[in-house]
Amino acid sequence: MLQYIIYKTILYFNMFIIVYVTIVSVTNGIQMIISMISTPAYLRKAKFSDINLYSKSDNMVPISILVPAYNEEPTIVESIKSLLSLNYLTYEVVVINDGSSDGTLNAVINAFNLKKITYPIRHKIGVNGKVHGVYYNPEFPSLRLVDKENGGKADALNTGINVSRYPYFASIDADSLLDSDALIRIAMSFMEYKYTIAVGGMVRVANGSRIENGKIVKLELPKKSVARFQIVEYFRAFLVGRVGWSVFNSLLIISGAFGAFQKDAVLKVGGYTTGTIGEDMELVLKLHKYMRKMKYKYKISFLPDPICWTQAPESIKNLYGQRRRWHIGLIDSLSRNREMFLNPKFGMLGVLAMPYYFFFEVMGPLVEALGLVIIPISYFFGLLSVEFFILFFMVTTIFGVILSVGALAIEEYTFNKYTKLSDVFILSLYSILENFGYRQMTVIFRLAGIIRYNKYKHAWGKMKRQEFSATEPTHSHFKNAPQ
């Protein structure tokens, strides 16, 4: 009897795996087709926009850039230099030092010769960490530095919202750089469609590139394979996944590395949720939930060309910490907003997007891990056809390669950032190789997020940063917004 039960369980599980993989493959395939159509169409439209005209226009919406920083000493100054040189007229940069234990605070103060000032703060959102002071230098009128007690990234961002002066804000990680036209692209999205409340931008890997005065002057591939694999991952995640969900207004996440929001909408939902490491996804889900409950017309979108360059982990240890943290944040955000799950009142977001993220993103590592256990058991009970297993493995692997190479093809056809043929060849090679070891490794990291969810769901997370190839700041390199 027991043997029969085991036999039936394994048989049904094998059938489940086939259906499971088929759904994932079909969904990703549809998203890739959507991206192949919508991304070139978006760029054709963008070509008619006069960037220089918009950059000098007083009619562009003013934007506050919030930079939460916790132990970011190696990269924070170069990141700020990048932000102060953006091609945009009216904006401010608010850096929030969240109780760093390294030299982050002094690095910013010394680099820009900031002085402590008396500065009124409107507490529109409750925060936990006490503000120790606000720093300023009239030579850099668009820059404010806020020093506060450690309260986590969400608390730092809420403090930044309270300090910010403008009706729209963008959040950016302290280890990231923005392309000079990134704010223009983001602002145009808000201005072209008045119901837009949030916009996410493209995140790319900066490792290996030469950076001067906050700008990438020479794009190069990273030397380490771990970072190269992530370039391929980012293409697939952003140019395929997020483009696909954005078309149906069902985008669940705007990357914390770079995203912009209408401040009033964020204030309506109480700002960022503290006590979670998935504050970026949590905010987007709260906005969806609030707008749909109130039956307001709205749009949350992703744009592939406002580019943010980030520093990707270059060691297995740091990659493990990052992916575990991301998976914990995903679980926590879906759990907090589970009332939308399979709820038709929330449209495609509740009926399709959230179930997909739960069954195929959250549970994906667990299903793959169980599959590795079931395979030898299936073979033992005579339920595994070796020929079928090899064929199934080859088909799924080939589709994974097609998805990664397809994302790379979209990148090269549309943006063509990697102009050297050798770089394209190397990235194509990594698009294939990632299916043989790297992807399985990240599955284990995400599985650790499921196992250790309760222990780490409130942690900021740490990753060792490497210095950008920086030069000393000189005033002539900055374009400051008016006070």
Query: Total structural domains in the chain?
Result: 1
Specify the pLDDT at position 176.
86
Specify the pLDDT at position 469.
53
* Between 348 and 385, residue with greater pLDDT: 348
Is position 247 within any domain? yes
Is position 467 within any domain? no
The percentage of the chain sitting over the pLDDT mark of 70, rounded to a whole number, equals: 92
pLDDT (tens digit per residue) in 417-475? 898 999 999 999 999 999 889 998 999 999 999 998 877 665 555 555 555 554 433 33
Is position 184 within any domain? yes
Is position 407 within any domain? yes
Mean pLDDT over all residues of the chain? 88
Is position 79 within any domain? no
Task: Give the residue numbers spanning the domain of 353.
Answer: 1-60+175-457
- pLDDT of residue 8 exceeding 70, the answer is yes
Is position 394 within any domain? yes
Helix/strand/coil (H/E/C) assignment for every residue in the chain? CHHHHHHHHHHHHHHHHHHHHHHHHHHHHHHHHHHHHHHHHHHHHHCCCCHHHHHCCCCCCCEEEEEEECCCCCCHHHHHHHHHCCCCCCEEEEEEEECCCCCHHHHHHHHHCCEEECCCCCCCCCCCCCEEEEEECCCCCCEEEEEECCCCHHHHHHHHHHHCCCCEEEEECCCEEECCCHHHHHHHHHHHCCCEEEEEEEEEECCCCEEECCEEEECCCCCCHHHHHHHHHHHHHHHHHHHHHHHCCCCCCCCCCEEEEEHHHHHHCCCCCCCCCCHHHHHHHHHHHHHHHCCCCCEEEEEEEEEEEECCCCCHHHHHHHHHHHHHHHHHHHHHCHHHCCCHHHHHHHHHHHHHHHHHHHCHHHHHHHHHHHHHHHHHCCCCCHHHHHHHHHHHHHHHHHHHHHHHHHHHHHCCCCCCHHHHHHHHHHHHHHHHHHHHHHHHHHHHHHHCHHHHCCCCCCCCCCCCCCCCCCHHHCCCCCC
Is position 27 within any domain? yes
pLDDT (tens digit per residue) in 264-275? 999 999 999 998
Is position 163 within any domain? no
pTM of the model: 0.89
